[in-house]
Structure 1
């Protein structure tokens, strides 16, 4: 017996509760949420939302569709939306202002009682069509990003259709569709280092150092801090830590973001606490030290005293051959005590805006200070006319 031709499913819900009104049309039970803000997806650090082309919608997979016989039962949902002129310009910017085109992002999630954000674990297999084009992905996961240019009608007249088909389930899901830009590591670093509110004041670091000495319970005279990032073992350029971290030690901003782009765990590499990007701040005091001309190029460690003054620690063999102009086979560490005058007592918050960051220790005029050592008296001399800090060798 010939089966009657299939007709598209139409939502029987009242019009004011159905997603078929406005620019959106669902061929399944669904409702536009009265409070879209209550639906929270996990924040994606490397994606910036340009526009929400389909607002959060609740999907109730009650009806089913039979495909090629009763043993192949699948749920199906479809939605239509239109691009605005602004959306089209964002996807295809004039004069190719952006490095890459914006992407269409589809997010589907389930609300679980033990989670504040939606779980994006989806039943498999799922098939997604955008304007009748199948997404060629075997294991589709949320969020799904596709190139908007390849799939969308880039005008304000033609409707864009998304159709999703997956195994039957008796749970409610939520879906949202966004236009997004992919953010690079370099862009995130630039955003943070140019934001004046993303810096710890130098006085804050000194205060924390004094508290560390006071609460240590030991007669500490100095506290050693490495200038090497615990992530890539290289000297830090932009030392950062979370506002929730209790330690003085920092890690490099770019190294931290890069590592979390590969494996997004977002934990402090020092204390292993949660460390999201929004909580990161640059340490002005440590940044000043890293960019100081008084810090030998090979120095990888400093010492802080109870008054917040710092001293660079260097290896004798490196410092005397590379900095002081004479060789030494001993590998014992030497502390160069630097008298910085009153600079340690000043707030360096404004200073960091002019020192972000330099690649080598140089004077403001671009010339390196020519420092030599008298091996007989162990004193330092300089042939520059500037008043350089005084050094004292402490073994």
Structure 2
């Protein structure tokens, strides 16, 4: 560097806050501790000896002072090209497999690139009195990858902790599932799995319950987040150690592989924004036509008993989400569902964010994120109805009417009036009644809610689920 460039970089360093100086030191693999002048000296020494550190300094300076985020080089989406660019990013006792693998897309994580290609993970012999041998491999983050992950932290109000928006995921599957090149394969975790990253025990998904004694510990197939265990530095490699075994006498044993991916975490509002695009919203006329066609087919079909014939002239549809038990805000369902009843999409996504089952709460059939859509017909109804309306009754002539909360809790209202009349006839004055109502307000409200719940549950149980024909 010339004297002019040295002075230029030193002025840039002096203008950066301590957080950016510490980030630059992490990027260069040096200690982050010390006073500000000590951090400046270490950073200045690093930029004089490395062009990579100077480029990182320019990036931090531009982000901090008015030039915005500069475009970064895209990650290679091909594992082969990734290996060509960084030929020393993987070290293992067993060579990575030269196979083309595509995991099933994970809804809440969007794949950005392959950090470590598939590595074979053989089983180990389970010996109680001896230490187990661990299959292991190394991976090294590039400078851009380490920077992107380190600068993507945010505070999660739901988890009450700092999390990463860019995440490093460890994924498993069996080689038998990738025999057909080009097809998507599901995540499959080996039985009795233990994972260590940089000598730290990695938290795994909760195992599936079983009543069989001395059986293998089977965990649901999900990607494993190992971001917090990784060293976010391009100069220090990360060690992954894996152990698994099985007590089954199956021969031959399944061959598992493990791969590491860099992904970007997607939030529920971001996923809802994709569903809310006009192309993903079903028009009201389609839902109305489907209901009328189904009702007409039931009314004109042969061999219907009296009860079903009466029910086929109208249908009562609740406006509450069957999963969240609250009034729907974003009503929708999946294209794989054959019913018109909806559920709240925001609540559905939050439930699957914590425990991904992707089962429709109405019909209990598979309802994947890619199959979800918003029903404009129910959006219009919810916007027109007041908060007291808990359901609608849709008739064969295409008209509908709201069913208000007071009508659903009529029995509770009669019980309350009878209760008050009995209390007054027992000689209580109006002043005593007021005092009684104030003291026992909570008990009466609990009683009212219980009675109201009984009536609403009875009505909900009698609501038929209309299934649409395939045509």
TM range (shorter): 0.5 to 0.7
Deviations 1:50-83 (A, max 9, x none): 332123x241649x89x9x9x5452422123332
Deviation of 1:268 after TM superposition, in Å, equals 1.2
RMSD over equivalenced CA pairs, Å: 4.0
| Residue 275 of structure 2 corresponds to residue 178 of structure 1 | no
| Residue 260 of structure 2 corresponds to residue 192 of structure 1 | no
Deviation of 1:35 after TM superposition, in Å, equals 2.2
In structure 1, distance between residues paired with 2:334 and 2:153: 39
Of 189, 201, 206, 1:135 maps to 201
In structure 2, distance between residues paired with 1:179 and 1:306: 53
Q: Is the 8 A contact 2:169 2:260 kept in 1?
A: yes
Q: Could you tell me which residue of structure 2 aligns to residue 80 of structure 1?
A: 139
The answer to which structure has the higher helix fraction is: 2
Deviation of 1:202 after TM superposition, in Å, equals 0.9
In structure 2, distance between residues paired with 1:163 and 1:23: 16
Deviation of 1:136 after TM superposition, in Å, equals 5.5
Alignment of 1:222-237 (within 5 A): 222-237=314-329
Q: Is the 8 A contact 2:97 2:120 kept in 1?
A: no
| Residue 362 of structure 2 corresponds to residue 270 of structure 1 | yes
Instruction: Give the TM-score normalised by structure 1.
Output: 0.61
Q: Is the 8 A contact 2:204 2:224 kept in 1?
A: no
Deviations 1:190-243 (A, max 9, x none): 4322x2222111111011011111221336332221111111221111111111
Structure 1 spans left out of the alignment, 5+ residues: 1-15, 321-327, 332-395
| Residue 84 of structure 2 corresponds to residue 22 of structure 1 | no
Of 193, 204, 215, 2:286 maps to 204
Deviations 1:333-375 (A, max 9, x none): xxxxxxxxxxxxxxxxxxxxxxxxxxxxxxxxxxxxxxxxxxx
| Residue 115 of structure 2 corresponds to residue 53 of structure 1 | yes
Q: Could you tell me which residue of structure 2 aligns to residue 154 of structure 1?
A: 233
Deviations 1:172-198 (A, max 9, x none): 2222112234333343334322x2222
| Residue 246 of structure 2 corresponds to residue 164 of structure 1 | no
Deviation of 1:114 after TM superposition, in Å, equals 12
SS in 2 for 1:59: strand
| Residue 370 of structure 2 corresponds to residue 302 of structure 1 | no
Q: Is the 8 A contact 1:128 1:164 kept in 2?
A: yes
When residues 114 and 267 of structure 1 are mapped into structure 2, their CA distance, relative to the original with a 3 A threshold, is farther
Instruction: Give the TM-score normalised by structure 2.
Output: 0.52
SS in 2 for 1:211: helix
The answer to which structure has the higher strand fraction is: 1
In structure 2, distance between residues paired with 1:61 and 1:95: 35
